[in-house]
């Protein structure tokens, strides 16, 4: 049987992607004006107010945070912006430049990168940037195309913030 056990259908084709959850069709994405009034919520609200980026939604999240002592699954809140221009990415970067970068939470690749920030002793954030799905599809449609051929690369950004447990503070 072709593709058995690797997520492929029996005929070897890859199944379609799962539907993307977005504001309005998933209870984990409340309206942006319902940002919690705690330190994590306030940081995300400040990001919205100061960056000018049109974030599409907010939801709850869980993400890994690495320290010298180990790894913790952090629960918190997230914002997402899809297909934004480089000026908006720079605005998000500028907002987070006021915080310390966590050297244990940096990952960089060709199509996706992650950078972690220590906001204070309790709150941490990760910013995940990836080449937009539309740009990736354009490159897949033209096998000779690479990133240098994309004139205005669009970026998807996910910002996740949460409070560390007392174990890793």
Place of tokens 């220590």: 118
Three-state SS across 133-161?
A: HHHHHHHHHCCCCCHHHCCCCCEEEEEEE
**Cα distance between residue 87 and residue 20, in whole Å:** 25
Residue 23 binned pLDDT confidence (cut-offs 50, 70, 90) = very low
Please give the pLDDT value at position 103: 95
Q: Return d(Cα 41, Cα 82) in angstroms, integer.
A: 20
**Predicted pLDDT at 154:** 82
> What pLDDT digit, counting tens, does each position of 102-146 carry?
999 999 877 788 999 999 988 999 999 988 777 677 667 766 655
pLDDT of residue 33: 53
Q: For residue 132, give the nearest of 96, 93, 85, 87 by alpha carbon.
A: 85
Indicate if the pLDDT at residue 13 is higher than 80: no
| pLDDT tens, position by position, 48-106 | 999 999 998 789 999 999 999 899 999 999 999 999 998 999 999 999 999 999 999 99
pTM: 0.71
Per-residue confidence (pLDDT) for residue 167, from 0 to 100? 54
């Amino acid at each position: 049987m072709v593709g058995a056990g690797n997520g492929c259908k029996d005929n070897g084709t890859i199944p379609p992607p799962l539907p993307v959850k977005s504001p309005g069709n998933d209870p984990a994405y409340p309206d942006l004006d319902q940002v919690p009034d705690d330190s994590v919520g306030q940081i995300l609200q400040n990001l919205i107010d100061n960056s000018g980026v049109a974030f599409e939604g907010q939801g709850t999240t869980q993400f890994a945070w690495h320290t010298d002592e180990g790894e913790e699954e952090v629960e918190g809140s997230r914002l997402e912006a899809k297909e934004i221009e480089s000026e908006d990415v720079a605005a998000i970067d500028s907002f987070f430049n006021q915080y310390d970068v966590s050297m244990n939470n940096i990952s960089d690749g060709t199509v996706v990168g992650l950078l972690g920030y220590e906001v204070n002793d309790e709150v941490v954030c990760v910013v995940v940037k990836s080449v937009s799905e539309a740009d990736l599809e354009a490159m897949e449609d033209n096998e000779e195309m690479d990133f240098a051929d994309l004139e205005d690369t669009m970026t998807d950004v996910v910002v996740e913030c949460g409070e560390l447990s007392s174990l890793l503070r």
